[in-house]
Structure 1
Amino acid sequence: MIATILRQAPADRRTRVTAWRQLSDILAQRGNQLAEDDIRRSLHALAVLRPHVPEAVRRDCARALARHGRFAPLVAFYANDVPAVSAAMLRDVRLSETDWLALLPATNAMARSVLAGRRDLPDGVGRALAALGAASVALPQPAAVVEAEAMPSSTTDETVGAAPSQISELVRRIDKYQSRRGQPASARKARRSFQFETGPDGVIHWVDGVTRGAVIGLSIAHAAFGGEPGADAAAAGAFRQRAEIVSARMWLEGMADEAGEWRFSALPWFDPATGQFRGYRGTARRPQPNEMPYGRPQEEDPGDSIRQLIHELRSPLNAISGFAQIISGQMFGPVSQSYRAMAETIVADAASVQSIIDDLETAARRGHAVADQASDEIVDVGAIVKQVEADLGALLAEQRIEMTLARVGAGPFLGRAHDADVRRMIGRLLTALVDICEPGGILVGQLVTESPHDDMLQLRIVRPAAIRFATATDLLDPGFSPEGEAPGAAVLSLGFSLRLVDSLARAAGGRLDIGHNALTLHLPSVTSKPEAERELQQGE
């Protein structure tokens, strides 16, 4: 295996990253069993590859290898990388006391500062660090840097020097919001009141006590209808008369402790010098139990936050796509070919994002009602797989990828789920995996119906080389994208695609399993276990 990897000269960034991961994993697991010449050549190859492998990839490899690596030369190699990579390896790796003592002279001051902070090292290692003296240990890193480096890989972006991806940040905010909604009220800081001030037009321009984004920009001069955020008609009527507002209603959107109904009172204020009307100043509070219908608030919909996010995404997306279509169609006059080509690319990307948003909306609409009602719709999963294969024909030809999906079992491959959801799941899964396959590679899978006792159809896809060593946590991280993805994968990251497939599968009563060798999509079969057992009894 080592010889095979070393014989191949990495030609591009993706093959270099793949070679780095393969060599590191082999040395970590079997380094003590390899010949000395193979070890020397492997470490030399890693040293040559290191300048061409992004720091984020090296850091994630170090973090993964630290959990099971016991090969001291490889630990020493990673320990002499940049501080972020070195710390990721040295914070958790376990070595024998003999290996630690042999390793210390080969480490730099920053690496030894990480080891000095550990309390689980053998006593002999602690004494050796003390004997080296304070001058051999670097100053402690700022807390913010340490926290950033200690952050799990699921909350970091794979791009060197870039901020966390927007998709990852949005999904992380949704997860945080949903987790807060699941906490008891006593675990959150309940916001019971706030103060605000409006301008002469009735638009709130200052607030204290709640998040600015939840209130700034709302108007008390016009009544809000249809569940939109804003004030009621009583406040709007008092505003027109420049009269005092008493216990009017206001509805807000935002976090759980801000969203919902409020009651506010406000007084108009005037310029002392000119007498000119300047706006309203007031306070808002949560309504008392006896002020709410039947004494209790309306039940919350767990999909509200995602639907709100979808609404916020659609408007700018439609605007961007519309302007791009205007440029592409030269509706306002002649446009150069380069700008038209750019506009056409934007339109295509916007269509892809629109498809993603549609999938999110489907998951938000059906995801919370999974356990209550199963779908009665019967779909031919085998036919859908065949159709997706045909739809991907052009992409497969462009990337020079061969896809082979065998059928295992007597069939027919009938599932119990919504047809549109099954098409989304299978299409997203296969497209995402094709995007990360190497040109000229093969994507192998099976559509399986097991024994009559199994109530699940299974679509198994062997892991492509780019994600062969990725953990399940990484693969389901919405910001995860392996190095070397095809251009078509830029709109939707692999991690986001797999997370979406898993969400839709669970909404249908199935799941997406991340195995060591394959990804398996489980979908409910038409023949349930009780029915299968009855058939077996009748046969006997």
Structure 2
Amino acid sequence: MIATILRQTPADRRARIAAWRQLSDILAQRGNQLADEDVRRALHALAVLRPEVPEKVRRDCARALARHGRFAPLVALYANDVPAVSVAMMREARLSEEDWLAVLPATNPMARSLLAGRADLPESVQRALAALGSASVALPQPPAASEEASEDPAPSQISELVRRIDKFQSSRGQPLGTAPAPPRLRAKEREGFLFETGPDGVIHWVEGIARGAIVGLSIAEAAFGGEPGVDGVAAGAFRQRAEMINARLILEGGAEDAGEWRFSAVPWFEPATGQFRGYRGSARRPRSNETPYRGATGDAAGDSIRQLIHELRSPLNAISGFAQIISGQMFGPVSQSYRRMAHTIVADAAAVQAIIDDLETAARSSADPPAETGAGEAETDIATIVTKVESDLGGLLDDQQVSVSIARIGGPFVARTSDADARRMVGRLVTALVDVSEPGAAVVGQLVTDHEHDDMLQLRIVRPAAIRSATAAELLDPGYSPEGEAPGAAILSLGFSLRLVDSLARAAGGRLDIGHNALTLHLRSANPAKAEKDASQGD
């Protein structure tokens, strides 16, 4: 039957539509029973016919075949069509668990995003989708979006982009059958809009918002300092002609349009030439859980850091999850070299996650100045923390052939800070200096108390040779990396590490001093001897 259809050259539009429907129907019903060569030829014919078959016909075929077809290659073919066709197939397609796992790598992010909203897929498929990061594409549907695709290709792709992601977003985090809570909006605030840019990234068409608020704005360059424009996520994606997912947008204008938005957009290309033509997408107001710190305090810098932290976690978890899938060979055998690479990515992701936790702690603590008294404050033995850090770094010390020797002078060494914060500060400081030490070197320091002259505990560590001549400004430069820096330091530069330690220390009422010969971490003392001295002076 397939051979008969393929021998006939469709002479007109009606014949091409008939051939499309016949080949699709045969593959849907009997694809698993056909010879591989027949399947290959049929799929090739469909790919050749697709530009000549109207989108409405392809969409209707997808709807008719979705529930009855069980042939994975055909599902993948329809899934990678324009959004209207992809939506019609992926909403209802029924495949086995093995077929879904085989199809996923062959689908685009738009199709995977729609699958992420289906509750009837096997758990392993949901895990694979989550690892691929497709779920984060979804946006709620603006009221102005049309339910049916238009024959005009420009609004059709935008409307379908919004419609395909609506199902997932409306059900995300909600029990089956429960409507999502409406977003909290300010008075007269618009809910969403559609837009299109030219190849230069400048927005030239919008629907659902005042043109003056956004037309002429560029998504190709990041805006800073609260100026209208997009964030670095969007600007970076534009340079790569990549999909933009939940990027941040700030607008000025009237009360209905001004403020913060979230948008997703996909690049589109001229079908005949493949020339890049711009982006098409949709925007919405951020949900309350996406801006958990908005308006909570007047600390704009702290809010920016916390927002950055919030936006880093999702892609980091996706990268780590996908690497774990590779290292665990969940999709099948993987070469040893790729598994080693995946193990490295997982380890690096864990290290970055720890850094994010440190940043979050510093941002949170900076909004709450330390109390002047010790009432209700945590107290930690820093000597014990130093011992724990030395033990935790055992593997790194062995790998880099570096030793750590920190003497105790005086005592006790009780500081007014929590155990977790103390481990972060001491651990980051020691790790940063181990990273820049040469093989065979020793990181030498002292933990000191001086009750007579200072109410601070001091952890002094001698500068390693690689940074002995560096100025304080250089050491605190986030991009500073001395020549010969160890590979392990690539995750977090020395300058960034030292700034982080200083930020954490200041949030706890201490500081990090950069001296000519040593770096000194000061922490507020909670030693009993100091308390007795203060009491005697009060008498």
Q: Which bracket does the TM-score occupy, shorter chain normalised?
A: 0.3 to 0.5
Structure number with the bigger relative contact order (C-alpha 8 A, sep ≥ 6) is 1
